[in-house]
Structure 1
Amino acid sequence: MKVGIIGLGFRLGYLGFVFDQMDPDFEIVGYVDPAPAGLPVLEEKGISAGKSYETPQDLIANEEMDLLMIGSPNHLHLEHIRIGLEAGLKVFSEKPIVMTIDQSYELAELLHQHGHERLLVGLVLRYSPLYKDLRKAQLEGLLGDVVSIEASEHIQPYHGAFFMRDWRRYENYAGSFMLEKCCHDLDLYNGVVGARPRFVASFGGRKSFTPQNAPANEGVNDLEVYHRKPSGWLGADKVFDSDGDIVDYQTAIVEYENGVSMTFHTNINVPDEFRRFCVIGAKGMAEGDFVRGFLDVHNARNNEKVIANTYQAPSKTSHHYGADEQMAEDVVKHVRDGAALPVSALDALEAGILALTMDEARKTRKVIDLEPVWQRYDAALNGTAADQRLKSA
């Protein structure tokens, strides 16, 4: 499979290695990136990144490819997706695929024009063995109707410090932390619920990565942990006095259109991290943790544990609990043979809209009703948005 890359950062550098492992015919024909942080990752593995091009248009005009992969900073995703779709290419974009509600409408209109099946998304956790087993248990009726969900994504201080130092610390480049980091998780639980979110409330802020909590204020000079993960574009050394505008903790409450409720919590200063969920249904309960690698399912009638699975990534260097390897294999099969994928661009848009609404609720301290958003989104996706704009003009 031949691919071109726009935005050869750390993420696509790693994915280039994973795809190369999964497909003996994988080839990167060229890339666009003025400062390709992921290039050394490929070179270390003996993988060529092809020719460097100045612009996406130059890359597309001069190379034949089966897939255009986008790993540029989030604020550029929509334009790069547009360029690929309008060139007639199949496009893979890292998450989040857009970074505002208005961009969600705009991309929905593009997908109406070009077909949403032309856009693949890097919501990699849908490919994880744990999530697949959760959905299998649900489909087998072990949970019954889903009633409520408690979920979280927590990351260690070294990773949280990376967000405070990287370009992702700025909402105008990355979107909010909830969008940039947690859209993975929100997508998973949207899938479990099987309905769109309707009402959202949220609270959060920054209380850990603040000047008064800097280790130097306690006489501690060893700051190695906070610089362990390298930052890329617009990287900085400041952690506790970061000039970024992202939060370091947030809690949200969601009610879905079918009445299911969910609480979701994120914190980026958790020493013993976990990424867990508890899905409670009328007939059973599923509890799992991607970091600690388990899935337990209990029967509500007799408390019997009917599933007790444990999970381990393929290697110590594997990202996302082995899901990257499965995603690469499935994407190659999809491009070659049209095999179905477990997540779509529409799933990504709905997860992004939920994340963005969580931040609107946090900033306004209001419960947000998503019904008007879904109405505009559906109009854009179905091609009726332009007609509505003409009528209101």
Structure 2
Amino acid sequence: MRVGIIGLGFRLGYLGNVFAEMDPDFQIVGYVDPDPAGMDRLVEGGIPAGTSYATPEELIASEQMDLLMIGSPNHMHLDHIRLGLEAGLTVFSEKPIVMTMEQSYALAELLHQYGHDRLLVGLVLRYSPLYKDLRQAQADGRLGDVVSIEASEHIQPYHGAFFMRDWRRYEKYAGGFMLEKCCHDLDLYNGVVGARPRFVASFGGRKSFTPTNAPETAGINDLEVYHRKPSGWLGSDKVFDSDGDIVDFQTAIVEYENGASMTFHTNLNVPDEFRRFCVIGAKGMAEGDFVRGFLDVHRAHDNAKVIANTYQAPSDKSQHYGADEQMAEDVMRHIKDGAPLPVSALDALEAGILAMAMDEARLTRKVVDLEPVWARFDAALHGTADGVSHAAPSLTAV
């Protein structure tokens, strides 16, 4: 499989190794990145990065590719996706695929124009064994109608410090933390509910990574933990006095169009991290944790535990609990044989819109009603956008 890369950052440097392990014919033919932070990872894996090109246009014009992979900063994704689709390529974009509501509408129009099948997305947790088992338990009727969900994504201080130092600390390049990091999780639970979010409320800010909590102030001499994960483009050494505008904690409440509800909590300074969920249905309950590796399902009427699964990543080098390996295998089968994928560009857009609504609710301290957003989005998606007033607000607070 011949692959071109726009934005050879840490993520695509890692995925290059994963794809190469899954397919001996995997070949990177060229890349575009003025400062490829992921190059060292490719070199360590013995994987040539191909020819360096100055612009995406030069790469696309010069190389024959089976797949164009996009790992550029989030604010560039839409332009790079558009270039790939216009060139007739199959495109894989890392999450989030777009960064703003206007970009969401624009990408919906592109999907209408070029179809959905040529845009693949890196929402990798959809490929995880734990999530597959959760959805199978749901399909088997063990949960019944989903009533409510409690979920979280928490990361350790070394990882939170990375966000304070990396380009992702700036919302103008990354979007909010819910979009940049938690769109994975929001996508999962949108899928479980099986309906779009309608009303959203949220609160959060920055209380851990502040000057008053700096290790020097607290009498801690070990600073290595906060610099363990290297930063890339626009990297900084500042952690507790970061100039970014990213939050380090946030809580949100969501009501879906079918009446189900969810609470979601994220925090960037959790020493014993976890990424858990509790899905409660009319007939049963599913509780799991991607980090701690378990899925338990209980039956409602007699409290019986009917599923008790545990999970372990395939190797110490594996990220995302083994899901990357499955994603690479499935993406290659999709490109070669047309095999179906468990997540779509539409799923990614809907998760992104929910994340943006969470930040809108946090900033305005109001409940956001997504009904007008979905109306405009669907008009763009189905090619009837001219009938929708573009003067209408992107998000409506009630």
Scaled by the length of structure 2, the TM-score of the pair is 0.97
- 1:178-207: CA deviation from partner (whole Å, max 9, x where unpaired): 100000000000000000000000000000
CA shift, 1:391, in A, is 12
Deviations 1:215-239 (A, max 9, x none): 1012222110000000000000000
Where 2:18 maps in the other structure, the secondary structure is helix
Match of 1:201 in 2: 201
Residue by residue over 1:284-316, the C-alpha shift from the partner in whole angstroms, topping out at 9 and shown as x without a partner, is 000000000000000001110000000000001
TM-score (norm 1): 0.99
CA distance in 2, matches of 1:389, 1:258: 26
Residue 44 of structure 1, CA deviation: 1.0
After superposition, give the CA deviation of every residue in 1:323-359 in whole Å (9 maximum; x if it has no partner). Answer: 0000000000000010000000000000000000000
- 1:229 pairs with 2:229: yes
After superposition, the Cα gap between the structure-2 partners of 1:390 and 1:193, relative to the gap in structure 1 and judged at 3 Å, is: closer
Name the counterpart of 1:168: 168
- Paired residues, what number? 392
Aligned to 1:345: 345
In structure 2, C-alpha distance between the alignment counterparts of 1:157 and 1:321, rounded to whole Å: 19
Shift of 1:387: 4.4
Q: Which segments of 5 or more consecutive residues in structure 2 lack a partner in the other structure?
A: 393-398
Tell me the distance in 1 between the aligned counterparts of 2:80 and 2:309: 40
Residue identity over aligned pairs, in percent, reads 83
Letter in 1 for 2:250: Q
Contact 2:376 2:388 in 1 (8 A): no
Render the CA deviation track for 1:45-102: whole Å, top value 9, x for unaligned. Answer: 1100100000001001110000000000000000000000001101000000000111
Instruction: Report the secondary structure of 1:117's partner residue.
Output: coil
Query: Which ranges in structure 1 are unaligned for 5 or more consecutive residues?
Result: none
Query: Equivalents in 2 of 1:211, 1:159: separation in Å?
Result: 18
Residue-by-residue CA offset, 1:80-127 (whole Å, 9 max, x unaligned): 000000011010000000001111001000110001111000000000
Give the corresponding residue for 2:280. 280
Q: Shift of residue 389 of structure 1? A: 5.6
Quote how far apart the aligned CAs of 1:390 are. Answer: 9.8
Match of 1:293 in 2: 293
What's the counterpart of residue 28 of structure 2? Answer: 28
SS at match of 2:117: helix
Aligned to 1:368: 368
CA distance in 2, matches of 1:215, 1:135: 43
- Cα shift at 1:265: 0.1
Structure 2 counterpart of 1:256, which letter?
Answer: Y
Counterpart AA for 1:280: I
Letter of the 1:343 partner, please give it. Answer: V
Q: Aligned to 1:116, what secondary structure does the other structure show? A: coil
Match of 2:133 in 1: 133
Distance 1:74 1:148 in 2: 31
CA distance in 1, matches of 2:363, 2:119: 31
Q: 1:64 is matched with which residue?
A: 64
Q: Secondary structure at the match of 2:264?
A: strand
SS in 1 for 2:182: helix
RMSD: 1.1
* Partner amino acid, structure 2, of 1:346: L
Is the alpha carbon distance of 1:391 and 1:269 closer, same or farther for their aligned partners in structure 2, counting shifts above 3 Å? Answer: closer
> Alignment partner of 2:185: what SS?
helix
Q: Distance in 1 between matches of 2:219 and 2:262?
A: 41
Q: 1:324 to 1:107 in 2, by over 3 A?
A: same
The residue aligned with 2:180 is 180
**What corresponds to 1:93 in structure 2?**
93
Q: Is the 8 A contact 2:196 2:350 kept in 1?
A: yes
Task: Find out whether 1:152 has 2:152 as its counterpart.
Answer: yes
